[in-house]
Structure 1
C-alpha cells in the first residue's frame, strides 16, 4: 500500500506545483487597441478605465501613464492626474508630459509647482508658445510678467533660429514683391517667406514664362549662407556666401562644355526699404564680371 501511495503522490506532484505558480498578467494587443480607441475618441471615462488597467500591469509605461493622466484631467480628477503625470515625467522626461503636468498644477492653483515644471520643460526642448498662450488652463496667468517671460524663453528654445542674429541677416528680403528691371518694367512676382521656425527664407518666384523656388539658410557648421535654387526647367543651382559690407553676396560655379562659369548675386537693402538684386557672371575666375540681370524689388501695395 505504501508503494502505491508514493506512486499516487508522485503523479499528483506536478499538478500541485503547477497550481501554485501564479499567473503573470500581461497587457494584450486588444487592451492597448481598446485604450487607444477610447483616447482618440476622447471618451475619457473609458480611456481612464482602460489605461488604469494597463499601468497596473506596466507601471513603468510612461506613455500609458501620460494618457491616463490626461484622461483624468479631462474628468477633472486633477490631483490624481498630476500624480500620474509626474510619474510619467520621472520615467520619461519630455516637454509634452511637462505641459500636461503644468496644466494640472494650474488647475489645483499650485503656481509654484506649475512654474517649476514649466522651467524644467526648457531643459527638455521647450514648449511651443502657441501651446502655452492658447491653453485655457493658463488663462489666469497669461497676464503675469513671469509667464510672459517664460513663453518668450520657451519660444527661443523651440525656435533657436530666432535667438541667433546670424539667421536674421537676410530678413530684409522677406516680403511680397513686384521686381522691376532697370527700365522700371515689372518682370515678375516674388513672395519671400520666413518658414520652419524662422530658420529658412523661402523664395517663390514667378513670371508668365517661368517659375522657381529657393531655400536660404545660414549654416552654423561653416558660418555661411546657402541658397538652393530650383526651377520649372529642371535646373538647380547652389549658392554660398554671406554678408559683405551689409549686402548679401552669394556665389556659385557651374561647369558647362568643359568651361567653368562663376555666378554672383548681390542683395542690397535700399534706403526706402526696397531691395536690389544684381546678378553677374564671370568666365575668367572672377577677374571680370558681366551683369546678367539687375532688379529692384518693390513692395506690393
Structure 2
C-alpha cells in the first residue's frame, strides 16, 4: 500500500489542479461516460438524516472524476477520490484518500447503465474481507450508494451503509 501513496498523491494534486470542463478526445468513448449520471453536488442521507455533501466533477480533461466527501458533522471523516476508466485493465478504478490517513483502491465495472459497482479484497486480522460498493441511478433521479462486506469469499454480504444521494439545490 505504501508504494501507492506517492503516485496517488501526485494524481490527486494534478487532477485537482487541472479540473477542466473540456474533454480529451481519448476519453470520449462510451466507457468513459458510464459514470456521467453521478456528476454534480449531492446531499447524502442515511435514512432521513443528512450525513454529508458529495461533489463529483470532471477532472483531467474529462478523463477522470474527482469525488469530494464533506461530512455534515464537525470533525467527521473527509476525503477525496479519483474515479477513472482504465483502458489498459478495461475497468473502473477508484482511489480514495481520507483525512485520517486512510487510502483505498477499488476496481469496478458498469453492471448496467446507471450502475457502477466497485470491489476490493483486503486481509485484516488474518481474515480476507471483500468490500464492495456501487452507485446506482434510481428512477426518481436519486443515486443509491450501497456498501457491503463479506468474510466468506462473497457467498454472503452484510450491508455496512445504504446511502441516498439527492441533487443539492
**TM-score normalised by L of structure 1:** 0.46
- For residue 35 of structure 2, the aligned residue among 162, 165, 170 is 170
2:23 aligned with 1:160, yes or no? no
The match for 2:69 is 205
Distance in 2 (alpha carbons) for counterparts of 1:288 and 1:248: 20
The match for 1:254 is 122
Q: Which has the higher contact order (CA 8 A, sep 6+)?
A: 2
Q: How does 1:31-180 map to 2 (within 5 A)?
A: 158-161=24-27, 163-180=28-45
- For residue 190 of structure 1, the aligned residue among 30, 51, 54 is 54
Distance in 1 (alpha carbons) for counterparts of 2:134 and 2:121: 15
Check the 8 A contact 1:159/1:197 in 2, yes or no.
no
Greater share of helix: 1
Q: Give the number of aligned pairs.
A: 144
The match for 1:81 is none
Q: Runs ≥4 in structure 1, deviation > 2 angstroms?
A: none
The offset of 1:160, in angstroms, is 2.1
**TM-score normalised by L of structure 2:** 0.81
Greater share of strand: 2
